[in-house]
Structure 1
Amino acid sequence: MDDAERRRKIRDFTFDRCKRGNQGFERILLQLFGYVGHGKSSLINTVMCVWYNSRYKNCANAAGTDESHTTERLTYAVNKKIIMVDNRGCSSMNTYETGEIFAQLGNLLPLDMSVGWSKGFELVDRIVEAEPYVKASDFIIPIFVYSVRHSPTPELKNELRGIFETARQLTMVVPTVVLTHMNHPNYTEVENMFRDIGTETFFALENYTEENPRRIRETDESVIQFLYEVINDAYFRADHRRDADQEMIDRKLFVLNYIHNRELMIQKINLERQRNVEKIRIAKDHRLKQEEEEKQRQKCQKLHRERMERLQQEFERQRLQAQYEHEERMRQLGNKKGKNNYKK
């Protein structure tokens, strides 16, 4: 199949052509998520440039560094049926930020609005408030964007394994991975990391940027292939029996349960931290008490030694005094005896 045929199939995509009809779905949401500065916005710019066959434009406000300018869930239409969503990236996948990511992936927060990082049960309130603005008719395909310039580590691998498994449970789809900066030497190592955690579908490309806007055939073909495989995957999944409204309810329950468990875990961690702090405090108090007792013991020993030294000195003084007095008496007796002998 050539590039023109793929473009036609992408352009003509509709859920109405599925074996079971649309089952309540109207459009695909390509939910881009991942770390800050890994190329989500740049990927959108590249797709828009290729799909509309235009000169490069920074329509997604992509940053030129590892920083992020994305603070909203902004949408970019490939066509009326295929929408790319630039979700806010995470600097680190901690429990609060992943809660936000899963709420975005589940399409439980409004599109084209600001995204904050909520703590406690604030995210629950935001999900409830968003109910009138989110659509169950949006078919979700998670797209994880990762820059191969960032070397994999065992800690990162474990973190991503947990995130991907949760994303799969939430959306019933294993996230597709788009690797940016594909010509970097880390590419093979990074791809192997994602394969090890169960990733099935990869796409690799060099995004167009303001610094490098010149279009090349390899990138253009990769973008069209990416979109084509996405709609094929949507057709495949939509051919099975599904219920758009029930899936929205299931995603909401999943995320609310995730938040609940997250808070229980955080409370458990905080309690454990408080217990550890209390243990440290008790140990410190015990150590200080022991140190104080040792100081008192050493002080008593010092006082006892000084007292014994004084007694010893006094005893020695008295002994010498008694010896002197004895010798003096003996001398006097000797002198008296000598005088008596002289008289005789």
Structure 2
Amino acid sequence: MSGNFRPPLPGYKPKPQSPTSDPRQFIRDFSFHNCKLGNQGFQRLLIQVFGYAGHGKSSFINTCKIVWENSSYNNYTKASGSQGGDTMDRRTYQLTENIILVDNRGCSAMKSHEKGEIFAQLANLMPLNMKVDWCQGFKLADRIVEAEPLVQPSDFISPIFVYSIGHAPNPDEKQELKEILKTCREMTGVEAIVLLTHKSKGNLERAEAMFKDMGAKHVFSLENYTPKNQSRSMEVHNSVMKFLYEVVQDAKFRVDYTRDPQKEMTERKIFVLNYIHNKGVEAHIQKLEGQKAAENASMERTMRVKTEEADKQKQKDQKEHEEKIRQLEAEFERQRLRDQFEHEQRMEKLQRGRKKK
């Protein structure tokens, strides 16, 4: 077993943990050692926060920390509150001894290679607290292999997809969101919890219905604490505690059944590498198709130019031919008139000669 996993002391008997009426106590006391089958190799819970840049991931982690520590506003993540996205690496924030909040780097548009990076972070195949540089194809696959000594199979993943309802997705983006949630489920075996932020900046009911239609089983919503919105709110406090309670309870439920952390990480790695490979093949095919389309378009333009030039030459030749015919007809008409005039002159001369006789 790799990582910082420490086996329980000899003679240790796990104490089953059951939900209590106090969510804070349940969260604070949570340990995989207390699951029905023991920890099975899991040491800590990673609450993996992921999604688009600028949708409030870092502010949400700030909000969780403020609520959990019952403190006044503190910008733990150094979030600016802007829409540009501040996180450039995978940052961790301790919630309890066994629960870690992970702020993953987001991206402005989920292109295929960026989604590969997102899934590599989400699958916990990238090191924590290190910068994330966007790359694709073999480079991304190489980074995943290089990171193997730095990642821990003993981390249990709870994926949290953060989305601002202030952003109205178009049909293509909706399909993209659906694919992200589906891929997350297939890769981790866990349904991603959707967290809607900026709930006052859009139609909350419509956003919730949209994600439900995409197959999301759990959808939460809240207004984050930000530098501009530091006032403590009972609604925010209760929403965060309910959210954390549901996440931890779900993790406990899943580890109450037989699991194999090492096998699960290997399967996630294979899944992501296959995803990267398939997207690379698709990108290559699209590139070839694009080149073929460009070549066909170029050939069509060349043929069109040649056809237009041939038509112009044909029209020019036709005009020249018509002009020659017109000139010949005009010359013929002039010659006819000269011949007629000469003939009339001869006839008059002949008549005058006859009269003299």
Between Structure 1 and Structure 2, how many residues are aligned?
340
Deviations 1:245-280 (A, max 9, x none): 111111111101111111111111111111111211
Distance 1:13 1:2 in 2: 10
Deviations 1:135-183 (A, max 9, x none): 1000001000011111243322211111111110111011001111223
Q: What's the counterpart of residue 190 of structure 1?
A: 207
Shift of 1:2: 11
Shift of 1:66: 1.3
Deviations 1:56-100 (A, max 9, x none): 111212132211111011111101211111111111111011000
Structure of higher CA gyration radius:
1
- Aligned identity (percent) is 51
Q: What's the counterpart of residue 85 of structure 1?
A: 102
| Among candidates 122, 127, 130, match of residue 113 of structure 1 | 130
Distance 2:269 2:343 in 1: 109
Q: Following superposition of structure 1 onto structure 2, how do residues 140-159 of structure 1 map, counting pairs within 5 Å?
A: 140-159=157-176
**Which residue identity is paired with 1:68?**
G
| Among candidates 86, 97, 100, match of residue 69 of structure 1 | 86
Q: What's the counterpart of residue 168 of structure 1?
A: 185
Q: What's the counterpart of residue 3 of structure 2?
A: none
When structure 1 is superposed on structure 2, of 41-50 and 274-283 the one drifting more is 274-283
Q: What's the counterpart of residue 314 of structure 1?
A: 331
Distance 2:52 2:201 in 1: 18
The 3-state SS of whatever aligns with 1:38 is coil
Distance 2:114 2:27 in 1: 33
Q: What's the counterpart of residue 289 of structure 2?
A: 272
Q: Is contact 2:116–2:136 with CA below 8 Å preserved after alignment?
A: no
Q: Following superposition of structure 1 onto structure 2, how do residues 221-300 of structure 1 map, counting pairs within 5 Å?
A: 221-300=238-317
When structure 1 is superposed on structure 2, of 55-64 and 101-110 the one drifting more is 55-64
Distance 1:295 1:182 in 2: 64
Distance 2:22 2:171 in 1: 42
Q: What's the counterpart of residue 39 of structure 2?
A: 22
Gaps of 5+ in 1: none
Gaps of 5+ in 2: 1-17
User: Judging changes above 3 Å, is the alpha-carbon distance between structure 1 residues 4 and 206 closer, same or farther for their aligned structure 2 residues?
Assistant: farther
> What's the C-alpha RMSD, in Å, of the aligned pairs?
1.6
Q: Is contact 2:137–2:277 with CA below 8 Å preserved after alignment?
A: no
Q: 4+ residue runs of structure 1 moved beyond 4 angstroms? A: 1-4
The 3-state SS of whatever aligns with 2:133 is coil
When structure 1 is superposed on structure 2, of 329-338 and 33-42 the one drifting more is 329-338
Distance 2:315 2:97 in 1: 86
Q: TM-score, normalised by structure 2?
A: 0.92
Distance 2:296 2:257 in 1: 56
**Which residue identity is paired with 2:155?**
D
Distance 2:153 2:177 in 1: 27
The 3-state SS of whatever aligns with 1:121 is helix
The 3-state SS of whatever aligns with 1:288 is helix
Distance 2:218 2:341 in 1: 109
Q: TM-score, normalised by structure 1?
A: 0.96
The 3-state SS of whatever aligns with 2:270 is helix
Distance 1:154 1:196 in 2: 13
Kindly indicate whether residue 350 of structure 2 is the aligned counterpart of residue 333 of structure 1.
yes
Q: Is contact 1:177–1:201 with CA below 8 Å preserved after alignment?
A: yes
